[in-house]
Amino acid sequence: MKYFLLAACASTLATGAGATTTLFDLGVAHDNLGFSHTYTVGGLSLVATGYDNLGNKTALYGKHSGGNEVGLGLVNDPTGDFEIAYNHGFVQLDVSQLVGKVDLHKFKFATNSTTNGEEWGVYASNTAGSYSGGALITGVTQSTQVLTDLVGHRYYDFVEINHTAHQGDNFLLTSFSVTAVPEPSAWAMMLTGMFGIGAVARMRSLSRVARVVARRTSSSIG
């Protein structure tokens, strides 16, 4: 019975600790999306807005051409690829609607269409339409990346920061994912599980002590 109780408590703790990851597929909406577009998944919302390099709003473009040509770009791409092009703008994600609902210490994102060595950068700010300072992270790959220690910023800006010899350099922002903060009921389950495990451990310890005392008492009587 005690082993069953221990297993049940451990299961409760593991279930409570499990957190849900929400993936925003930024290539799911196609064509010209206007200046801003809201992505909603599982009750969580993320707002994307397009800006040119002067900080003026410019139209977003949801590209869905297959392969690595899927994601969010800008209509003003001079190459006609509808991607985020060097010195022509950036995509800004507003995460304010996620506050209190997700773990703001870590986000994940993925890029696409970087086959010519395009270098992208991600910046943080609290001002719509602008970014400054050093990039939180830079890269030239089209894979999932992790952003950490992000508390205190409302906006995250995705920019092409380096122009190579190839004049068609541009990239797409493919996805953005967050991990939900456990609900109060989940925390309660976790605490209950921890208490239960502790209680079982104490019961086992007391049981061992009782057996030792019983043996010693029996030996002294004999």
CA distance 78 to 66: 21
pLDDT at 205: 59
Q: Which domain holds residue 193?
A: 2-12+184-221
Query: What is the number of structural domains in the chain?
Result: 2
- Claim to verify: residue 204 and residue 128 sit in the same structural domain: no
Taking 50 as the threshold, does the pLDDT of residue 75 lie above it?
A: yes
Least confident stretch, 24-28, 82-86, 180-184: 180-184
For CA atoms 130, 135, 141, 147, the dihedral sign is: negative
pLDDT in tens, 25-34: 999 989 999 9
pLDDT at 19: 72
CA distance 87 to 160: 7
- Claim to verify: residue 129 and residue 163 sit in the same structural domain: yes
The CATH number linked to 85 is 2.60.120
How does residue 108 score in pLDDT terms, banded at 50, 70 and 90? very high
126 or 8: which leads in pLDDT: 126
- Claim to verify: residue 172 and residue 158 sit in the same structural domain: yes
Residue range 109-113: mean pLDDT, rounded: 94
CA distance 181 to 10: 20
- Claim to verify: residue 93 and residue 75 sit in the same structural domain: yes
- Claim to verify: residue 49 and residue 90 sit in the same structural domain: yes
Taking 80 as the threshold, does the pLDDT of residue 184 lie above it?
A: no
- Mean of the per-residue pLDDT values for the chain? 81
Q: Which amino acid appears at position 12 of this protein?
A: T
pLDDT in tens, 124-152: 999 999 988 899 999 988 889 999 878 88
What percent of the chain has pLDDT above 70?
71
pLDDT at 81: 94
